[in-house]
Structure 1
């Protein structure tokens, strides 16, 4: 089903509300996760392993999840996974209360919640074009991503810090309630959201169609590889940030102050969602992509050189802004270019390449930090991001070539091959 009027309708706002609630739950869970791990062990490798467990499902399940999203009703999928997340976080609260929590249990629950996130995000990304008009995609994606950021980091992080200060049980309980409320909000969406297409008997054939579409599209392929490098560095950064920021780490923050530090990233993301349209009009999409590279470099480089909370916060703000402009722009390209019946599979293939490096980044960060120190991880990631200038040049050349051929910008749905 597709909206025919210009204003966002009930289905979009129900999806928006579910996104807000589920990301509040995500924010509470992801904030508490490394802090709980740090309370259980002081080993950087073990703390990072919990983040690895949370992100590993993108590497393991991105492709089959894409097939599921293109075969089943996307709204119902999201309802089910939010209920599963409710149960998983409830088990975490139960384990905390009975003092059964260990790094192993924490890692298992993180893996389960991460698997649900893989399914939910893929379904949500495929749902957006079904509830808004084609010419509303940038605006819709900006609103979806901004509320994701606000609830996940701007509210979820600080709220998680305050709740954790009151009691270890509260962030988990708050997360469970948020996931349950998200499932209820999705039920407000009317109609069915499964794709009308001829079903293939072979799951492998379905998978290969999505992979082939992505890999033969030069622009999407290049962007996916660039994200893979940046995502591994972001994962490395956040998997050990708690050890760097919270006392006795170099920044010497208290837990609630750590939550406030994370809001600098969220504030940058909100600023990016508000500025993405005027920035694109003024400077073009290439500048938006370049902003993400600059922001990621700054976020990694600054803590590698200066243990100053204000400088680190400013760098995270810039990274948040760049990350948002990138996501909104690239999501809009993908939703325009990819046929609706392929969206789930192409999204899964894209995330396999781009986010499949998240567990690798967390794993390497833990090992390198254990052997050489936290600063080496930060500076190594900053240097790695400098090399992204070369594929960015390739993307800009491709954009220019397409513009010359069609006389339109790359935002046109017919422009990207």
Structure 2
């Protein structure tokens, strides 16, 4: 066999995509995370249609984000003891119901702020449960030596979902209106649940760990997971940085549509294109990492990429030229792809198999569940600041916080 043939044979992406169940999982995750990106954009846009008040946007952000605070940790504990596949199927169908209900309410002109808050809360609840369970499934689908590549492909899928979500979300709203758009979103989520139905998970990892056998309390399982993270310095560092990232991402997702619509005077499709450019950068770096069999000094690479997060928010806040913002978004997205791939790979490497559901639930909580905290912060800040200045302040907080943590985290920078 030639050297070139051996290289192709050992290509990590080819090896992983040759696995039928990973392909099905990847497609299902793509569709479900597509809805995650769509829902934040679409519900904020719906809020702006109901009222131009910043309070309405903050309230919709709270309704989407509070479920992350309430359900992420229980979902992770359940994933460590129950059938992950069934959890995903049933909960995604719940998401289909709420998205479809939103479409009906808009179509018959029944929608108002209280009803919008209810359907946003229901959709956010489904997503907050699904994300940590999906992340905990990966070790049951790929060999251990291909985990980093699988995470890279997962990030690529999430980046692709954000691109498609932004384009489908903004484009569908512009072309068909809000009612038909939400109906389309419900169909997309239904397709995701159908794909996950056909996935066959490895039984090498026990769904029920030792602690769960001793005590069936879900609260006890959550407490064990939190204690596990607290006792492992590398996990504490990764989760601490995740808190700052989650606060920044939540703020950015709420402020960007308002900045684009009211200050840059962009339509829904132009606004969604900003998210698409960010995701393009993420896909490029995620695919590059996925092609590598192994990368040393993952902790150092993560620390460098993480320190691009805050400056990205600050620069976007200062810019007013659409083309310049698009350029920054693709560069910032490239850093984001490196940061998230390394962060998730490190979390897998530092976490015992039977604890991964709970650890990734906590990671999902801090990364996605800080939306309501961001919404409250934005609501208070808007008393004195406009949206762009609020984004700059949040970027500065992220910049200082991540810089302090990474410069002090020598064990992480030198690790794996």
User: Considering the TM-score relative to the shorter chain, is it more than 0.5?
Assistant: yes
Give aligned pairs, total. Answer: 394
CA distance in 1 between partners of 2:383 and 2:289 (Å): 39
Match of residue 103 from structure 1: 113
Match of residue 158 from structure 1: 167
Match of residue 286 from structure 1: 300
CA distance in 2 between partners of 1:362 and 1:68 (Å): 28
**Residue 47 of structure 1: how far off its partner (Å):** 0.9
The superposition leaves residues 326-360 of structure 1 with CA deviations (integer Å, 9 ceiling, x where unpaired) of 22112122223322221112222333445443321
Match of residue 344 from structure 1: 357
Single out whichever of 87-96 and 220-229 deviates more from structure 2: 220-229
The superposition leaves residues 36-90 of structure 1 with CA deviations (integer Å, 9 ceiling, x where unpaired) of 1101011112112212221212222222222211121001100111111111100
Contact 1:299 1:312 in 2 (8 A): no
Quickly say closer, same or farther: Cα 1:82–1:354, change in 2 above 3 A.
closer
Match of residue 343 from structure 2: 330
The superposition leaves residues 299-327 of structure 1 with CA deviations (integer Å, 9 ceiling, x where unpaired) of 32123322111222223223322222222
2:315 equivalent to 1:305: no
**Residue 282 of structure 1: how far off its partner (Å):** 8.1
CA distance in 1 between partners of 2:290 and 2:168 (Å): 30
The superposition leaves residues 206-230 of structure 1 with CA deviations (integer Å, 9 ceiling, x where unpaired) of 1121111111110110111112112
Quickly say closer, same or farther: Cα 1:27–1:332, change in 2 above 3 A.
same
2:62 equivalent to 1:52: yes
**Residue 376 of structure 1: how far off its partner (Å):** 2.3
Report SS of the residue matched to 1:307: coil
**Residue 192 of structure 1: how far off its partner (Å):** 7.2
**Residue 131 of structure 1: how far off its partner (Å):** 0.8
Quickly say closer, same or farther: Cα 1:384–1:118, change in 2 above 3 A.
same
Contact 1:298 1:318 in 2 (8 A): no
Match of residue 40 from structure 1: 50
CA distance in 2 between partners of 1:355 and 1:29 (Å): 13
CA distance in 1 between partners of 2:354 and 2:394 (Å): 37
Query: Which TM-score applies when normalising by structure 2?
Result: 0.88
What's the RMSD between the two structures over aligned residues? 2.3
Query: Which TM-score applies when normalising by structure 1?
Result: 0.88
Of 328, 337, 341, which residue of structure 2 is paired with 1:315?
328
Unpaired runs of 5+ residues, structure 2, are 1-13
CA distance in 1 between partners of 2:296 and 2:79 (Å): 36
Contact 1:298 1:319 in 2 (8 A): no
Contact 2:96 2:186 in 1 (8 A): yes
2:244 equivalent to 1:229: yes
Quickly say closer, same or farther: Cα 1:382–1:250, change in 2 above 3 A.
same
CA distance in 1 between partners of 2:36 and 2:370 (Å): 20
Unpaired runs of 5+ residues, structure 1, are 404-409, 412-417
Of 366, 372, 378, which residue of structure 1 is paired with 2:391?
378
Match of residue 366 from structure 1: 379
Contact 1:237 1:365 in 2 (8 A): no
The superposition leaves residues 189-208 of structure 1 with CA deviations (integer Å, 9 ceiling, x where unpaired) of 12576614342223232112
Quickly say closer, same or farther: Cα 1:100–1:229, change in 2 above 3 A.
same
CA distance in 2 between partners of 1:261 and 1:355 (Å): 20
2:148 equivalent to 1:138: yes
Quickly say closer, same or farther: Cα 1:310–1:370, change in 2 above 3 A.
farther
CA distance in 1 between partners of 2:328 and 2:62 (Å): 24
Report SS of the residue matched to 2:283: helix
CA distance in 2 between partners of 1:134 and 1:11 (Å): 16
Match of residue 254 from structure 1: 267
Contact 1:227 1:355 in 2 (8 A): no
CA distance in 1 between partners of 2:117 and 2:78 (Å): 25
Contact 1:272 1:325 in 2 (8 A): yes
CA distance in 2 between partners of 1:302 and 1:130 (Å): 40
Contact 1:73 1:192 in 2 (8 A): no
After TM superposition, the structure 1 = structure 2 runs for residues 240-279 of structure 1, keeping only pairs within 5 Å, are 240-246=255-261, 249-276=262-289
2:197 equivalent to 1:197: no
Match of residue 114 from structure 1: 124
Quickly say closer, same or farther: Cα 1:366–1:258, change in 2 above 3 A.
same
CA distance in 2 between partners of 1:144 and 1:287 (Å): 19
CA distance in 2 between partners of 1:332 and 1:284 (Å): 8
Single out whichever of 190-199 and 360-369 deviates more from structure 2: 190-199
